Chain A
Amino acid sequence: QKEVEQNSGPLSVPEGAIASLNCTYSDRGSQSFFWYRQYSGKSPELIMFIYSNGDKEDGRFTAQLNKASQYVSLLIRDSQPSDSATYLCAALGGTSYDKVIFGPGTSLSVIP
C-alpha cells in the first residue's frame, strides 16, 4: 500500500472555478502535511502546510486536514491558467520520521 495516495488526474477545471485536490495517507502517525506545486521540468515549490485538523487558508488556497479519516485536501479558488501544474501531496512524521513522503501527484489543467 502506497503511503500517500492521490488521484493522478488529469483534473480539468474552467478558469475562475474551484479546483479540489485530494490526498489520503496510510501512516496514522504522520504529523505534518504539505502541498507542493510542480511545473513541468521544474522542482517542487511549497504552497501550503497543515498539521492541525480543520481548514487553513492562504490567499486563494485552502488546505483541509482530517486526521481521523487520514485525508488531506487542497482547494484552489478562482483558478487561473497559471495554476496548471502537478500538485504533490506530502506527509512528514510517523514511521518515516524526518522524511517527507510524496504522493504521485495530481495533474491540474485550468482551461481559459
Chain B
Amino acid sequence: GAVVSQHPSWVICKSGTSVKIECRSLDFQATTMFWYRQFPKQSLMLMATSNEGSKATYEQGVEKDKFLINHASLTLSTLTVTSAHPEDSSFYICSADPEGTEGYTFGSGTRLTVV
C-alpha cells in the first residue's frame, strides 16, 4: 500500500531555533500534501496544504512566516518551524492522498518539544 514516510519521529530543540520536518511519499507521487498539528487530547487541526511547485495554502490563524512549507518535488514536502517556542510543542503529522485509493495516508508523525 501507499506509504508516507515522516522524519524525524521526535525532536527536542531550544527556544528560538528552527526545526525541519520531512514528509516523503515512498511509492507514489503526491502533488498535494497536508500538514496537521495535534495538541494532547485534541483532534487534528489542518495547518496548511502543500502544493508541488507552488506556494502552500495556509489555514486561517496559521502564521506562514513561522511555519515554512516547501514542496519542491512530487515526493517530498517539508515543514520548517522557525524560531520555535514552547507553545509550538505538538505532534505534527503530514498526509497525502494517493491516487486510486480512498482516504488519506498519514505519516508516522513528529513529536516536537521546544524547551
| Interface pair B109/A99, CB less than 8 Å apart | no
Stretch from B11-19, B39-47, B60-68, B73-81 contacting the other chain: B39-47
Instruction: Give the A-B contact count at a CB cut-off of 8 A.
Output: 46
The proximity string for B residues 9-37 relative to A, scoring 1 for CB distances below 8 Å and 0 otherwise, is 00000000000000000000000101010
The count of residues in chain A whose C-beta lies closer than 8 Å to any C-beta of chain B is: 19
In the assembly, what is the distance between CA of A12 and CA of B85, in Å? 37
Q: Does B58 contact A (CB under 8 A)?
A: no
Q: Does B7 contact A (CB under 8 A)?
A: no
Q: Does A85 contact B (CB under 8 A)?
A: no
Q: Chain B interface: which size bin?
A: 20 to 34
| Interface pair B44/A44, CB less than 8 Å apart | yes
A100-B34 in contact given A42-B109, A43-B108, A43-B109 (Cβ < 8 Å): yes
In the A-B complex, the 7 residue pairs with the closest CB atoms? A43-B109, A46-B103, A43-B106, A104-B43, A49-B102, A102-B44, A102-B43
A-B contact pairs, 24 of them (CB 8 A): A34-B102, A34-B103, A34-B104, A41-B111, A42-B109, A43-B93, A43-B106, A43-B107, A43-B109, A44-B106, A46-B102, A46-B105, A49-B102, A49-B103, A88-B43, A88-B44, A98-B32, A99-B46, A99-B49, A100-B46, A100-B95, A104-B42, A104-B43, A105-B43
